[in-house]
Structure 1
């Protein structure tokens, strides 16, 4: 099985493109079409958010998308079916983004088994307590899922070292404090922070939270990282307008970001 780390390293000198969309926003059929479009337009990995009622790490755009999906009655089972239906037809592997409570509510073992059987290759849980990470990591290894742990600019050196030691191959560096969303700028100090992490470990590094424009991508892609996660800007494409226009806007935005990344090789 190809891991997320292997995919990130297989793109060579290109910085991998990792778009994020919320499952079920505006509806499941549109989500499925969006997955195929992102795959066709150069996404190397696709992150799919599981709708949740209390998404503490998400900014207003993704919160709205999650709220809309839940209002439409989107369930975990429906998202599983969607991923199972589409994952075999995608070149890009799927990372599932969810909070810890839905995992606990379903049962950790059952949840991980089910997403593995559906074809999920990676998992991000932003509020996973470090004290409980070992059990989840062990089960993820059993089910061939790469659990991607997060490092923030305010993480202590002790915590960073623990995360790097526990990591299954890839770490997610949060490029700004606070929630996800579209920021005006990305601080260049993050480059030094990433260099410090690189000196400590050979984990592949993806960077996200606040990256939303071509200018951000141009800035961040020349850092010594393996992938860029863009969430709110992709989710926003699907929030308004007719279904046809939403998908057209998504395609154009993905193609433009991928073109930017290819010019940086």
Structure 2
């Protein structure tokens, strides 16, 4: 069984949502990325969303874009990220979903990319620039290997398209809480909880909510209705804040912040 499915089944029995922190691979370096993943797991994170830096991210706001730039200017390669994940698997079985541009997957072919991802120890992908109508090839390759392709649903998604997406998404559904890009927000849109409730009427696939979830209170609100709570920009902002501090301080301080978010989500 895929680690993602196993984790959601475990949490369903406990009646708790998954907490899913997003982290950019290689920001500020892969040693720190690996240490942060282990620290997040220690603090109670359930699944990791690992961003593979790309020069033109279409869904990300300035905070995550800046983290991608910091990683890319150092010459970071996908092969190095997969190698880091492979080494991490000697210490942890936490599920890892990677956010990646389809151009990165397409370059060497879906089959090759997924084979390499599986061998390294990744459990799935989110591909924000691949419409669900065009993901048949990668969906089929992934299904054969029990590798998950997580699809997005936005507040503006039509009812007909929601059905298509819920039928195809694997592992969990990624519900985008806002109309727009990732980023820190002051409040959660008022319609999020109702939209989650509506989605649950058409699918049994776990629903995780991201984009704009920034504080423990946000996480608590989302955690009462969704199966998973995703926080990205607020965590990356903490990483950036401590980038010039000693390695141990960065890991500890960002870990403390994630711990607060975990407590909010599961409170």
TM norm. shorter chain > 0.5? yes
Q: Name the SS of the counterpart of 1:180 in structure 2.
A: coil
Q: How many residues align?
A: 262
1:167 positional shift: 2.3
1:169 positional shift: 4.1
Instruction: Confirm or deny: 8 A CA contact 2:221 2:265 kept in the other structure.
Output: no
Pairs within 5 Å for 1:11-90: 11=11, 12-90=14-92
Deviations for 1:218-252, whole angstroms, at most 9, x for unmatched residues? 221111x1110100111122113313332121111
Instruction: Confirm or deny: 8 A CA contact 1:9 1:226 kept in the other structure.
Output: no
1:4 positional shift: 1.3
Q: Which residue of 2 aligns with 1:108?
A: 110
CA distance in 2, matches of 1:84, 1:203: 28
Structure 1 segments (4+ residues) deviating >4 Å: none
CA distance in 1, matches of 2:179, 2:186: 14
Q: Which runs of 5+ in 2 are unaligned?
A: none
1:236 equivalenced with 2:240 (yes/no): no
**Of 237, 250, 264, the match for 1:246:** 250
CA distance in 2, matches of 1:110, 1:87: 20
CA distance in 1, matches of 2:79, 2:104: 12
Q: Which residue of 1 aligns with 2:159?
A: 157
TM-score (ref. length: structure 2)? 0.94
Provide the alpha-carbon RMSD of the alignment: 1.3
Q: Which residue of 1 aligns with 2:9?
A: 9
CA distance in 1, matches of 2:213, 2:9: 21
TM-score (ref. length: structure 1)? 0.95
